[in-house]
Amino acid sequence: MQITNIQSKIYEPESIVNFKVALIERVIPQNVIIKITTDEGIIGYGEAAPFLPVTGSDAQETQHFIQKIATFLIGKDPFYLENIHNLMNQVVVGQNAAKAGIDMALYDIIGKSSGQPLYKLLGGNSNQIETDMTLSIDTPENMAKKAVEYTEMGFRILKVKTGINSIEDIHAIKLIREAVGPDIELRLDANQGWDAKETIRTMKALEKYNVLEVEQPVPYWNLAACSQIRESISQHLMLDESVHSPQDALRAIQTEAADMINIKLMKCGGIYQGIKINAISEAAGIPCMVGCMSESRLGIAAGAALVGAKSNIPASDLDSHYLIAESPHIKGGFVQDGGLITIVDKPGLGVEVNFAAL
């Protein structure tokens, strides 16, 4: 089998939530959908969801790289994943969102060619996973109202964005806990908005509200602070922006800077690299989560396949398709009931894409 054509198209899903995090005032999604065709008529689809503060590129730059790398990949066997990833890395450093989209489409082809759902080919742990739902930074009162709305939709885990004002953050968590009761799991994500002392002070103040973990509270480069925080708080510390690669995961483990690691396909360059990060983490006894950027149902299906494949990935933050208006031209992949995602038993990603209509 050989790759005969690679096409890409910028896709601008409509935001239905005014999403705000510590890194940036408003997140406006602009993704790239990728279509890879083979000489056997098997077509794979992938999605790149770049986010400039994290991936270092925007949609236009992402599409430009995809068009450039296509000339190197025509004629390649899509099963030669190691070879293709090495080639992409030789052409350019970074551009991980673009590489993730290509990687996703290749895995879709491999699954379709094998006649198996991707989660089975990658390991086959379970076809059901549970995702959290993310609360954007807002007034504490509005965040509490939104928390109730999400729990009434069936979500049992809430990920609360924080990191701009710790006093407001503490008040928001207080109101959210009072609103949703004791049985809903709460996770925090500060998106690098605090320093070590503020993190420790804030997390100690939040102990009475039964918060399970805090994610990436300090700047990505400061693993020393992460180690200090981890030793000083009762909650779990998860790293996100600090870990883009398997090498980053190893450094975080060696410095004892993390209780968990958040794998995002857009950060690391796709499923192929995500598997490596998980393997390193599992060897060290550290579980992982798979998160997302602004992916549509297509990208979420890929993340769900990785979670469903591996027992060392017990957590997922695969909710971005709830934050954007879903396209009628991207269907399938999974069905969802509240936070419970059931992966469909179809080859590859199981997603139907009307590329021409996007």
Quick one: which of 188, 184, 189 has its CA closest to 156?
184
Cα–Cα distance, 128 to 169 (Å, whole number):
32
Cα–Cα distance, 299 to 272 (Å, whole number):
14
Q: Is 240 one of the annotated active-site residues of the chain?
A: yes
Q: Is 161 one of the annotated active-site residues of the chain?
A: yes
- Determine which one of 61, 240, 241, 248 is catalytic: 240
- Determine which one of 35, 120, 264, 310 is catalytic: 264
Q: Is 215 one of the annotated active-site residues of the chain?
A: yes
- Determine which one of 47, 215, 241, 317 is catalytic: 215
Q: Is 248 one of the annotated active-site residues of the chain?
A: no
- Determine which one of 108, 169, 189, 319 is catalytic: 189
Tokens 């499923």, located at residue: 271
Cα–Cα distance, 261 to 18 (Å, whole number):
27
Q: Is 189 one of the annotated active-site residues of the chain?
A: yes
- Determine which one of 35, 99, 146, 161 is catalytic: 161
Which residues are identified as catalytic? 161, 189, 215, 240, 264
